[in-house]
Structure 1
Amino acid sequence: MTDLTNVFPRKHRPGRGASSAQTGRFEKLARVTEPDGWDTPEEVSVLRTEVSLERPRSVINYVRSPDLPFDRSLNPYRGCEHGCIYCFARPSHAWLGLSPGLDFETRLIARPEAPDVLRQELRARKYSVAPLAIGTNTDPYQPIEQRHGIMRACLQVLSDCGHPVAITTKGTLIERDIDILAPMAARGLVRVGISITTLDPVLSRRMEPRAPAPRRRFEMIRRLTAAGIPVRLMVSPVVPALTDPELEAILTEGQAAGADAASWIMLRLPLEVAPLWRAWLDEHYPDRAARVMARLREMHGGKDYDPSWHHRMRGEGHYAQIIAQRFDLTVRRLGLDVRTEPLRRDLFRRPESKGDQMELF
């Protein structure tokens, strides 16, 4: 069994992935909730989503990881209400003094000035254009985007200046922005990745509690591709002994929905994610917990996770090789192994602002 402090009863955390507000790795003191005898269990309220605002000084994050296909990213939000228990971005909340557990999915941070800061950064003389990845840490189309609209505003900035962008999401709100995305796609400026982990709605609801159901995500692929927006199906993450039997079926349905490419990533458990994941397994699938963890440790040299470059995404060993072979055979059969065209960079023009020479004409 996994021992985590500050575990919340299930009835007080409906629609949440994590079971505890586990203290982040940088905190000297642990935060533990204890009953004081004044409240009855029925009087304890359920966890609600709280949103704080941040004024960023910069929004383009330059990435030096040699095993990633992009060198810069942008995050309109910190934390993610989708609450996917496996999310490798959870440890980023520890940098804010917050819990990678329940805080990551309930105490969110919006960056409403991100579009203006993005415009300023793109105007810099030293800026050299390359595809900007959005959604690689937290989902830009999570539920709070409906109210804040930060992603749409950032997308408009990129569209106006002809900047290429690659978007990763599970959120159906992306369909709202087809009016911007479709013209960008026609100019070769955008690709979208939709991640689907399982076809089982019960497993999905437990593992990704506030993300759209799997069938709804396939419908997203249909609507985006019908508008001419290229979509990559991302089977991510593959969970040993839990979702891996569905690999071929997910790829087949994704291709039928219109995806023109596919990729996969093995389950990753960096830092605080490992104990949160083990606690989730113990709660929801205790009969499979030992098998799941044995497979993961087999791929990471006996550890829950090995973050080494070029290893962390797939693992190694017999089981990892089998998954890779199954994926390769299926994408070849479905025609999803075609190399996609690179996004265009030649259309980029630095954003204009008041006082620019062009305004004289």
Structure 2
Amino acid sequence: MDELAHAWDRHDLPVAAGWELPPPQPRKGRGAVTSPPCRYDRFRAEAADDGWGTLEQDLADPPRLETTLTRDATRSIIAWNDSPDIGFDRSVNPYRGCEHGCIYCYARPSHAQLGLSPGLDFEAKLLFKPEAASLLARELSRPGYRPAPIALGSNTDPYQPVERQLRITRAILEVLSAFNHPCTIVTKSALVIRDLDILASMAERRLVRVCLSVTTLDRRLANVMEPRAATPARRLQAIEALVQAGVPAGVLAAPMIPGLNDAELEGILAAAARAGADAAGYVLVRLPNELKEMFTAWLEAHYPERAAKVLSLIRQTRSGRLNDPRFGSRFTGSGPYAGLLAQRFAAAARKHGLGRPSGGLDASRFRVPARPTGGEDRQLALL
């Protein structure tokens, strides 16, 4: 028994002689091809052949994976940070996990804090915060609160597919509008235009800016890299719709993955400028914790002929590793290849008039409503 426990702890239980685990296979509509175990777990389960010859077939033809929702009973909603790399100090995330399934998402490892896998669990086992709006109203009403832009979408997308039914992000916007509180939104979803009525009103008061993340103009690449996000064309249409409604909108070419989508940088900025974007940004791909293993497996499954080159180029921008978490370089990388990417972005941004956002958001309008009056203030009635 002790020997078996020791083998289990070392993750080296024997398998049938001559049998090898087949390579992981993509699932339709899902981004990750692997589900690494939670890094906080002491024990791990691994597939092993039991002699019946059925495991290989099961792994080659995995069943459909349904999305499940779990209520998040959080008692606070504003997340604070003091990172020197981020241009905001507070954010709100209506959801944990993201059904978009973007393989490169730096937020995936955060699912391990819930005891879940950063792989398929991240995109299929979601937590939602139904009390987010009332919690936000309560926190904004505290006597010592000092307003500054709140970021929506800093960890997971506030407009991922489940938002269509749950409408938590819309409720949050209603509270922010009622308090005249500024916010920024980053999303890959065209669903953002559903809330044009609120966003246009907030834009008139200089309370909101929206940024659409566009990683590629290649629909096929987008389909396997971010399978449940809006198509690139729909994201560009969302920028156009926002601008036409008077809502300032920009584009975020992120992440740029060397050897995979970085050749599209100039094309993405040009297309966004034609759609009416007035600002742009970019981020070099980040692969923290389990993401290194997951991204490698995804490359080998979808782009085996490019995998070695892409990983080599990433290492050239990350001091010889697949990830460099140091402040000051984690978003842009280092070395000649990263430097060239930065130069290309700067040149394209100048060419298309996509500088930094013009005109900041106005926090001076912030007021705690005297009492709820219905309409967009209905969430305050929950206080």
Deviation at 1:123, TM superposition (A): 0.6
Deviation at 1:275, TM superposition (A): 0.6
CA deviations over 1:80-132 (Å, ceiling 9, x no partner) = 00000000000110000000000000000010011111110001011110000
Q: Distance in 1 between matches of 2:240 and 2:355?
A: 19
Deviation at 1:55, TM superposition (A): 1.8
Q: Distance in 2 between matches of 1:193 and 1:35?
A: 48
Is 2:22 aligned against 1:17?
A: no
The structure 2 residue matched to 1:185, chosen from 194, 203, 225, is: 203
Contact 1:6–1:33 (8 Å) recurs in 2? no
CA deviations over 1:276-299 (Å, ceiling 9, x no partner) = 000001111111111111111111
Q: TM-score, normalised by structure 2?
A: 0.87
Q: Distance in 1 between matches of 2:206 and 2:194?
A: 20
**How many positions carry a matched residue from both structures?**
349
Counterpart mapping for 1:4-43 below 5 A: 9-10=25-26, 13-32=27-46, 41=58
Contact 2:25–2:301 (8 Å) recurs in 1? no
The structure 2 residue matched to 1:68, chosen from 46, 70, 86, is: 86
Deviation at 1:301, TM superposition (A): 1.1
What secondary structure sits across from 1:185 in the alignment?
helix
Counterpart mapping for 1:166-315 below 5 A: 166-315=184-333
Q: Which residue of 2 aligns with 1:345?
A: 363
CA deviations over 1:289-332 (Å, ceiling 9, x no partner) = 11111111111111111100011000011111111111111111
Q: Which runs of 5+ in 1 are unaligned?
A: 355-361
Q: Which residue of 1 aligns with 2:169?
A: 151
Q: Which runs of 5+ in 2 are unaligned?
A: 1-20, 373-383
What secondary structure sits across from 2:221 in the alignment?
helix
Q: Which residue of 2 aligns with 1:89?
A: 107
What secondary structure sits across from 1:51 in the alignment?
strand
Partner amino acid, structure 2, of 1:322: L
Q: Distance in 2 between matches of 1:253 and 1:21?
A: 35
Partner amino acid, structure 1, of 2:305: D
What secondary structure sits across from 2:301 in the alignment?
helix
For residues 178 and 297 of structure 1, do their structure 2 counterparts lie closer, same or farther at Cα, with a shift above 3 Å needed?
same
Contact 1:167–1:193 (8 Å) recurs in 2? yes
Q: Distance in 2 between matches of 1:120 and 1:73?
A: 15
Deviation at 1:341, TM superposition (A): 1.3
Contact 2:24–2:301 (8 Å) recurs in 1? no
What secondary structure sits across from 1:282 in the alignment?
helix
Is 2:127 aligned against 1:109?
A: yes
Q: Which residue of 2 aligns with 1:357?
A: none
Q: Distance in 2 between matches of 1:165 and 1:31?
A: 43
The structure 2 residue matched to 1:45, chosen from 35, 38, 63, is: 63
Q: Distance in 2 between matches of 1:6 and 1:153?
A: 46
Deviation at 1:75, TM superposition (A): 0.3
Q: Distance in 2 between matches of 1:64 and 1:307?
A: 15
Is 2:147 aligned against 1:129?
A: yes
Q: TM-score, normalised by structure 1?
A: 0.92
Q: Distance in 2 between matches of 1:161 and 1:50?
A: 33
CA deviations over 1:171-223 (Å, ceiling 9, x no partner) = 12111100100010111000001000111100010100100111111011111
For residues 31 and 353 of structure 1, do their structure 2 counterparts lie closer, same or farther at Cα, with a shift above 3 Å needed?
farther
Deviation at 1:352, TM superposition (A): 4.0
Tell which structure's C-alpha radius of gyration is larger: 2
Q: Distance in 2 between matches of 1:65 and 1:320?
A: 21
Contact 1:76–1:140 (8 Å) recurs in 2? yes
For residues 168 and 206 of structure 1, do their structure 2 counterparts lie closer, same or farther at Cα, with a shift above 3 Å needed?
same
Partner amino acid, structure 2, of 1:103: D
Deviation at 1:26, TM superposition (A): 0.9
Deviation at 1:31, TM superposition (A): 3.7
Q: Distance in 2 between matches of 1:97 and 1:179?
A: 39
Q: Which residue of 1 aligns with 2:3?
A: none
What secondary structure sits across from 1:206 in the alignment?
helix
CA deviations over 1:263-283 (Å, ceiling 9, x no partner) = 000011011111100000111
Contact 1:75–1:140 (8 Å) recurs in 2? yes
